[in-house]
Amino acid sequence: MKGDIDTILLDLGGVLIDVYYERTAHAFAALGFSDFDRLYSQAKQDHLFDGFETGTLSPADFRDGVRRLLGNELDDATIDHCWNAMLGTIPPSRMETVADLRRCYRVLLLSNTNAIHVPAFTEIIHRENGITDFKGCFDGAYYSCEIGLRKPDAPSYLHVLEQQGASPERTLFVDDSIQHVVGAQAAGLHAEHLDTRREDVTALFARLLA
């Protein structure tokens, strides 16, 4: 890996920050909406969530869409609370891994995320990791809702690499969603699927760099 790669492109949710999709389903279920998990899953999303992740829908549009789908006039704060329930924390060892990798590689971040999650996980990372500038922990950090592109579409990966002057053939992409790994490979990147049932990102790079 050392000789072939000069850039590492990391996913956020599942790779760095723990994500518990079922917690959002459970939060809505506690309010009486037991089929919310039908509308949202890691592998396949309803078009409402796709639009929110690419920034074509505003937070207000998203909340109105949730209310429409659930048939209930939930207030904004309740929707945000349920939606953010999936966000976990970043173990310090993972951020140490990012810092270690930056000594030898250009390290970039590409996340499919949205304008409600961004301030929520930024606050979690600040509160629990003491990091005041999360994007500053990388050589470049890109959120789908800000760039208008999302994985697994090839333009999302290529946009990030073009912005950084990086080449696909010298970039290793790491994601816990297999469809994003396949998309990166189709765009010409090296890609590694992180199976979080077996190891975390720290263990993965310890193995790859051994």
What pLDDT is attached to residue 41?
57
What pLDDT is attached to residue 43?
37
What pLDDT is attached to residue 33?
86
Residues 6+ apart with CB under 8 A from 35: none
Residues of the chain with CATH 1.10.150.240: 21-84
H/E element, 22: helix 21-29
Weakly modelled stretches of the chain, pLDDT under 70: 1-3, 39-46
Residues of the chain with CATH 3.40.50.1000: 7-18+90-208
Q: Can you give the pTM of this predicted structure? A: 0.93
What pLDDT is attached to residue 68?
84
At 95-124, the pLDDT tens digits run 999 999 999 999 999 999 999 999 999 999
What pLDDT is attached to residue 75?
96
| 29-67: b (≥16 Cβ within 10 Å) or e | eeeebeebeebbeeeebeebbebbbbbebebeebbebbe
- CATH fold of 7-18+90-208 reads Rossmann fold (3.40.50)
What pLDDT is attached to residue 2?
60
Tell the CATH superfamily of the 21-84 domain: Putative phosphatase; domain 2 (1.10.150.240)
